[in-house]
Amino acid sequence: MNFELKPLTLVGLANEKCDVLVLLVPQDFKPGKDELSLLVAQAVKAGDLGAKPGQLVSLYRASQANAPRLLLVGIGEGRAKQVRAAVASALGSVKAALGKKVVLAFAAAAHEDAVRAAVLAAADATYSYTHAKSKPEPRTLQKCLVAASNATEVSASFARATATVLGMELAKEWANRPANHATPTLLGQAAQALAKLPKVSCEVLGPKEVAKLGMGSFMAVAQGSDEPLRFIVLRYDGAAKTKAPTVLVGKGITFDSGGISIKPAAEMDEMKFDMSGAASVLGVFRALAELKPHLNVVGLIPACENLINGRAVKPGDVVTSMSGQTIEILNTDAEGRLVLCDALSYAERFKPTAVVDIATLTGACVVALGSVRSGLFTSDDALGDALLEAGECSADLAWRMPLDDDYADGLKTNFADVANVAGRMGGAITAAKFLQRFTSQYPWAHLDIAGTAWKSGAAKGATGRPVGLLVEFLMARAENK
């Protein structure tokens, strides 16, 4: 879907030809003398359009607009959350009749965050997954025109939002694909396809190269599957080569059975989403290619399956990580940290300004934070503050969790340098403490997205998070240099 931003007043808006016109009306809207303004005033006076965000008046073939369907939608105070809910409600109400062109128009001057929210909501409301369907029903909407009287003032926010949509939809696409359509090899090919974009390059390492690097922990997880592992290295070179990069590390477990510590059968199909961290890294690079910030970024994706065969790693096995630290694997279903730790060690070679890993790591984080906020762990206050602020700006929220050293006590073992799990209590924190052991050479943060990367139930599917947060974080770093 193509997005366009256009400066239009309500007078000009009435002549804009489209299939659906959605007029976003704030509660303090002051009507002019044009026909659309008078229509809004009448709806407000009649009590049909009030201050409540999402309240909707639907008209067919109204004379005040050059569109078969005109929707008047309340956006309350015009805050981003209210706009997002209003756009989702409006487009959801006419989803079967959207046609090819929709206009989202602000009845008054729009705020930057409101424009971003409108774009993201429109993309999400019209997204359609078609891969692997014999009779796909693709998105029919081809163009979404965002209209605002102050379009020039919000153009930068609009550009960032449309680039973020491209990234989120790529992340959704790969996270939604079934595991047999998103193997480590196919994930590597998706990364290589990104190298066709400006300033992006890609290298994909196979089992031999990974073995030479000494990634014993990563290889231990992969050895239970017949699918060969892939270690993906993406680079976005937007600044001078002398500028140290920011590194993103995405967990790429393309299917997680739990290994010998096998998961319950119920909802195990959702473990195709266990590579959502990797998918988000792909999505970020797609957005970077659009935005072209003056910044260097490296993306690392350790990709493999966690399955069971005669070679599968067993509880009690001890493996040697790339860092040289030995790990006793007490639970083979705590495999994400085993692939991430070697990627975090690999990140040292780039001498990064910061490293952020993104992983569907623990059910404990879902219990703690649900599906609203991702868990954020870091001992670097400046990095933590930057990520939290990026989450607030992008409405892709995170919450900082503790990382006290006392939480690491449960990882002690008599048989190796560290165990891969501690007790049940504080599981998201002890998982982060495990990862922290491999990050002493740079500022590091960990995002546990187990609760936010996908939805279950009737709306089952990937959310594309935290692409929005990460894009905002990186753009802020580029702007602050």
| CA 325 to chain CA centroid, nearest Å | 31
Residues with a catalytic annotation lie at: 263, 337
E-strand ranges in 337-437 read: 354-359, 374-378, 398-400, 418-419
Comparing C-alpha atoms, which of 163, 158, 117 is closest to residue 284? 163
Which two structure tokens, joined as six digits, stand for 318? 């001890």
User: What angle do helix axes 467-479 and 155-176 make, rounded to 10 degrees?
Assistant: 140
Buried-exposed string 434-456: b where 16+ CB fall within 10 A, e elsewhere: bbbbbbeebbbbbbbbbbbbbee
**What string of DSSP letters covers 58-86?**
EEES-TTSSSSEEEEEE-TT--HHHHHHH
φ, ψ of residue 357 in degrees (nearest 5): -100, 145
Query: How far, in Å, CA of 14 to CA of 109, rounded?
Result: 17
DSSP 416: S
Rg of the chain over all Cα atoms, to the nearest angstrom: 24
Spatial distance between the Cα atoms of 205 and 342, rounded to a whole number of angstroms: 14
Q: Which has the closest alpha carbon to 32: 66, 9, 8, 58?
A: 9
How far apart (Å, rounded) are the C-alpha atoms in residues 343 and 346? 5
- In this structure, what token pair is assigned to residue 468? 């929005």
Closest CA to 280 of 372, 341, 358, 366: 358
- Contact indicator for 300, 232 with CB cutoff of 8 Å: yes
* ω into 466 cis (within 30 of 0): yes
The beta strands (E) that lie in 265-314 are given as 296-306
Q: What tokens were used for 386?
A: 């930057």
User: Which has the closest alpha carbon to 338: 247, 246, 235, 223?
Assistant: 223
Tokens of 118: 């409108």
Q: Spell out a b/e string for 321-330, using b for 16 or more CB atoms within 10 Å of the CB, else e.
A: bbbebbbbbb
DSSP state of 425: T
